[in-house]
Structure 1
């Protein structure tokens, strides 16, 4: 973006929110501005993609990937990303505005730094990388331009545009360019095109070397020479450049920058732990001693490239850089950690040309000796073959690049053929899809149009069809076993209700919804009705009630009636319930309640007492349990014989009945 174009954006409001105040910096992919966020009334760094790249889907997606990558990190030593979007063709990224200067500026102005200063700057860098590693990400482009030392001494790591999720072998190649700046690429990035957490450790170790010495650890006349020296050279000790650097720091740098990844710290967390241990072991004099670099830089002569400095190498085509502007910085003032003169403002530094992608060259990892010899062989051929061979290698040859074809929506067999014809290797994985039929390509990774080295691996994600699972039979199973039955099918237990059941034991499933065998989606809830066992029924009290009414009450309660033998009762009228069994408590549905019904009192025939003397008749009746009412219509002057009785002789009546006697 030219200065005139950049200046033309000053004053413009982006996305109805960000008013551009001033132009801050330019990079290969975007320019950075100071902008005022009108919504939150704060200044931000607004990164806007260059117009020529805004129409390129690959670059736009990479630009958006930076936002997604950085937004996943929340750490005080990581430059925060606030927003991302597009406005009238301007693809932008809103970031935290950090006032300070890059570590490149600090090294340029003040290195060699003391051990205390260098470790104070390196520690927050490692903490930021540790946060990324814990989040499953690697930075892949750690360099001084991506580290900002704020005016208050706070250190921030920026530009996660190249960050990618950690895998066993995270590819470092996109669009034919070996991503990352060549001076800070790890040997495995150069040689095999892969990176992991130890690649970030390697670059951080190079930063420590550079802060302690003021010079880059790996140098060369061309990017190819620099890359070769990463793989085959040895990094000199900082103390050989700046006498007086403590030997513990020499060892720290050596451990972090080992050629083989397995010989380095396994992550930023391990590196920062070692850094703290080293600092604790140094005296104040060792921490604060400031040395001066030797006039002759051992680092410049310690690594000899097999390619002569006078050899005419095929100049690698300078690819369009994917690097973003180095940092959202402004008002460059001295950080508190650096104890010398205030840091003067310096322009943003851009790194040199990126190295042509060489990761596609075949490597036999089973034979390390062969792997170590191939650059010598390549260099010799470059010397002999000159420009012609180099041009063939990086175009039509194995070192060339190819473009991922558009195969989304095609049958997998057809898509695999297209990928193979493009000189790429196919890896096919399957996943369920609600919208695409089985065997149709859902997406390709990297996306269509991406430029890769030949024989790079392209992943096809193919539809397995709709994700459906048959609901298992849960009826008859105990509730405690339901979860284990549903879990392997990615189903879950839904709503549970309880019901009384006369036939299903307590805790056993009575019914379910959806029904067994029904085809459902992942995570579908399956509701169940669980038995509470037999329902307890309170026994109604019916003693003294007429039998018919008592029977109806018991039947209504869900119990059955069993009639016992009727009994005579002087107290309970005939036809009414004398007793019940049980007479209280609970039963279960269908259980029986026995009722005993009264026949009334016992009946006794009235004896004939007519013509008996009154006293004798009364005794006869009272002995049988009757009561006697004697009546003398003519007085007691006569012989006192019974002339009549009521009830009449032979009438059955209950005991206690009053017998009326007429006596004359």
Structure 2
């Protein structure tokens, strides 16, 4: 695809991503002179009319969304069977890269990253569209920053308009998604609505908070089974100290009962804002908010049901955790989920009946006697005052006195920071080190709590040490194909620049000869690496030297680093001595070091003229013709008519070319 001009407009550049359905290339819109991303369906998939139509619907559905956090769709076309989609180009990295680098991360940071994603999904749900493949790989983060319009949701390739008439899978009963983020109802019966996107967002939030996926397994089938039969565990089980309302938000979004989840991303966005505000206020626990967010318990009084026939087959795509659920039973790998039981969607139980109130009755009159003044009154007052004072002291102690201020230790070594924390009566805990361009390696980059924040007296402060500037060595790419070299650069977090082709006598065609910068050079993440790719051995056009001097041919061949070989020398009456009679090969191309074979002329063959003086003319003629001469007779000046040879030209004993004429002078 690289270098191809699609639809007479889009010049395809390097491949930047590859998935199970299509590959994405950086390209140039030659008409508007701007950089775009072109998504090209894999070869052969376009032959499936249903599949191609779904690809076309992707463009129309995504183009309907006009939101700052959605990757824009510009164009869609079909160039001689190559179906493609033109999208906004977002240079940067994905949320998956952030998870690898930062997770587990503070809850406030996780919500800040997720808020633009939920906002984009809310806009899609309002437009009647479902993303159906929410995952960190589909969240792009531009290099300019990680806030505002720099975070964008990509690949609405599985988007489907919500319709009351069709709630099944997009094409022919096929379910396409990523198994780690599949909602249980998708696995059970293939039905999806906006709450499936909510479930996937909840799984992504869990992954941001803990650094791991909630459900793991040796195969995609096992993971899908766990989504159906197991709740997502609270993140605080892996990361102690997370507020209870953060656990509740994850539980609400990932409830296996879809009716317990927020109805769409707009409702989820409201809950996310409530939790983010509580975190900004420094609240570490809010039972009321947590109880409001937590899914309502529903008694398990429903009979279990078997997996529907719509989920008979799971197809695992190579190199990813993507699966498809099909209506046929042709895949042997599906037996692991056949006839399993799942808990059906729970419905809130009916409220308990309330006993009717009784009508008030008038109390019967009671006889009374005067009461003596009690001495308990002052005692009760004293106890009340003591209680109020105790409550005040307790509030002062629990709300303020037991806290201290986190000292500033940024920029110190771990040893010096630990010593300062010891002096303040605090313990130092080790956090996950991270890269920094400004803080030297081994120095404290950040603390949790931050300097100046309140912390329990005797509590712990997590120190995050700097790993220094993030740098990567250029890998050795020599001998790789261009695609393999690009993949190796992507794994090293370096960016492929451009490739230049050159002739090479040693490196086969299509393989990388070298990189610029060279292998072993240390670079920043995202720095560009160019490749020099071999075109193979340089062909040399052979010239025809027939009839030309061999010496000139030999000199030309040496200049082209070819070998000239004289296989034989032959007499020739037509080709001068030293010239080429024939060569092999006479035309075509060769490579350096190849041989050209020559037959070189020795000129005409020379024969000694015999002695014919005093011989009879007939005898002399026979002798000369036998040697290959042509005989001509001529009368001498002293001709007497005797018929004998007086002399010859050339004279006897001289060398003459075979076939030349000898003149006999007769007497």
TM-score by length of 1: 0.45
TM-score by length of 2: 0.45
Greater RCO (Cα-Cα under 8 Å, separation 6 or more) = 1
Name which one, 1 or 2, has greater alpha-carbon Rg: 1
